[in-house]
């Protein structure tokens, strides 16, 4: 039977096809087409002609995934990947080692612009900026979780895979991580092993699983232009992995919000209290800062880190729960039963009004309901710190519906060689 122009060509895993590579897509792929079917291609660059091997194909889907295995017509921005594991079928941690570092940032800028155009109907002018001291894009990652294979060797995951690729080095890891010898040891019986190289003190190695009480605490020092402070963080807890990120983001949030003495501030998804501490210094003892965080370990750290600031109150709980947002909840084990609403009351320590708000949600973003509740606070300014541009763009649309416009947007290359990018957006009331 012949294939009509509207019927995508049948492709199977392992097929090799010639492709003309189109624009970059969110997630570390570039987009191509093959006889009516979209192909998301890793290890390629826009404008190239390549041979690609199909790595994922499902019946009924109008797209497949593939790896570039031969470059027929290279991009002028293509370089030899510095790491031998950054290749088809190997480590999935880095997406763009085959692109010159300035061009990587051009690709990420294009992704941010495309996400805002598609999800928020906004044309934004944004260029991804390097962080201080990052000239090569290597040696920056101060926290790494290595997976462990069935033989006890530490390694990294393949792209979109649970398969462990044993490695003897990781070029984006801080040299102190590799100096622990973690990649030379036998980790039989462990699921993974975390390594944290903090800004102060010794590098620590934590096998996973590990009892909560056995997880060491490390010290991180932030010395930004607008704020300085010391924070205790679990070695397995969340902290920015690029050494220049925390200080840069604090400075940007302070600049955007310009907190004033006596104001009420909210730090939502507060982690161990980085932004809450910076806000507390600005609003002073006459102001108030409410920090909301759900992770129990982070809350314990935040309580200690923020103890010197009498204006700060730490609230343990999910942000949506604190606002009293109703979440769907399954009733009983039967999948066929319809979800029922879980009725919640607004947390008594959460104010009805606020002057400034920091949103620093996980990769999934804040969501429509939280955006609406934040907007209802009537803050004069909202700073949104986002590690996923698509979630930020979606939430930008939600905030716009609630009366807040995007007033400023900055983007930073906090994860060189990968497709990830950190954005910080300022929202203000009214206007288009």
Angle at 82 between CA 193 and CA 196, to 5 degrees: 25
The catalytically annotated residue of 91, 94, 387, 423 is 387
Please check whether residue 108 is in contact with residue 131, taking contact to mean a CB–CB distance below 8 angstroms: no
Residues 6+ apart with CB under 8 A from 248: 131, 132, 224, 412
* Residue 75 phi, psi (nearest 5): -75, 150
293 is in an annotated binding site: yes
395 is in an annotated binding site: no
Query: Quick one: three-class SS letters along 88-140?
Result: CCCECCCCCCCECHHHHHHHHHHHHHHHHHHHHCCCCCCCEEECCCCCCCCCC
360 is in an annotated binding site: yes
Active site residue 94: no
Residues 6+ apart with CB under 8 A from 416: 101, 104, 130, 134, 137, 138, 140, 172
Cα–Cα distance between 432 and 391 in angstroms, integer? 20
The first and second tokens of residue 374, run together, are: 């934040």
* Residue 58 phi, psi (nearest 5): -125, 140
| CA 352 and chain centroid, separation | 29
Cα–Cα distance between 383 and 399 in angstroms, integer? 12
Q: How many CB atoms lie within 10 A of CB 334?
A: 7
Please check whether residue 77 is in contact with residue 100, taking contact to mean a CB–CB distance below 8 angstroms: yes
Angle at 377 between CA 374 and CA 379, to 5 degrees: 95
Please identify which residue in the block is written with the tokens 């894009």: 137
168 is in an annotated binding site: no
Cα–Cα distance between 284 and 349 in angstroms, integer? 19
The DSSP secondary structure of 196-264, one letter per residue, reads E--SBS--EEEEES--GGGS-EEEEEEE-SS-EEEEEEETTS---SSTTHHHHHHHHHHHHH---TT-E
- Active site residues per annotation: 387
Known binding-site positions: 240, 269, 293, 360
* Residues annotated within a binding site for S-adenosyl-L-methionine: 240, 269, 293, 360
């Amino acid at each position: 039977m012949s294939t009509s122009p509207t019927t995508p060509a049948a492709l199977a895993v392992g097929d090799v096809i010639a492709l003309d590579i189109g624009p970059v897509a969110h997630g570390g792929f570039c987009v191509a087409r093959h006889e009516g079917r979209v192909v998301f291609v890793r290890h390629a660059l826009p404008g190239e002609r390549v041979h690609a091997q199909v790595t994922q194909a499902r019946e009924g889907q109008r797209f497949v995934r593939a790896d570039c295995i031969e470059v027929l017509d290279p991009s002028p921005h293509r370089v030899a990947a510095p790491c031998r594991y950054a290749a088809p079928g190997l480590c999935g941690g880095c997406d763009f080692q085959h692109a010159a570092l300035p061009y990587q940032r051009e690709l990420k800028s294009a992704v941010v612009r495309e996400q805002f155009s598609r999800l928020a109907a906004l044309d934004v002018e944004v260029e991804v900026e390097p962080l201080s001291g990052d000239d090569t894009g290597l040696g920056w990652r101060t926290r790494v979780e290595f997976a462990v294979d069935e033989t006890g060797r530490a390694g990294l995951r393949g792209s979109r895979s649970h398969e462990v690729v044993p490695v003897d080095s990781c070029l984006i890891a801080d040299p102190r991580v590799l100096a622990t010898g973690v990649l030379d040891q036998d980790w039989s019986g462990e699921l993974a092993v975390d390594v944290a190289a903090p800004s102060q003190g010794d590098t620590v190695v934590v096998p996973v699983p590990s009892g909560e009480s056995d997880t060491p605490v490390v010290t991180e020092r932030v010395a930004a232009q607008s704020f300085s402070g010391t924070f205790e963080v679990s070695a397995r807890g969340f902290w920015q992995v690029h050494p220049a990120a925390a200080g840069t983001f604090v400075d940007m949030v302070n600049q955007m919000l310009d907190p004033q003495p006596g104001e009420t501030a909210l730090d939502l998804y507060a982690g161990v209290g980085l932004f809450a501490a910076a806000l507390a210094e600005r609003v002073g003892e006459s102001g108030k800062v409410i920090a909301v965080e759900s992770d129990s370990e982070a809350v314990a750290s935040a309580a200690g880190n923020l103890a010197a600031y009498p204006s700060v109150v730490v609230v343990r709980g999910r942000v949506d729960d604190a606002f009293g947002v109703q979440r769907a909840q399954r009733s009983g084990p039967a999948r066929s039963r319809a979800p029922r609403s879980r009725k919640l009351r607004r947390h008594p320590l959460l104010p009805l009004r606020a002057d400034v708000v920091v949103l620093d949600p996980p990769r999934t973003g804040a969501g429509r309901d939280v955006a609406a509740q934040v907007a209802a606070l009537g803050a004069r300014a909202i700073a949104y710190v986002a590690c996923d541009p698509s979630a930020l763009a979606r939430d930008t649309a939600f905030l716009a519906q609630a009366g807040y416009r995007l007033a400023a947007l900055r983007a930073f290359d906090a994860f060189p060689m990968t497709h990830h990018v950190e954005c910080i957006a300022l929202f203000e009331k009214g206007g288009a």
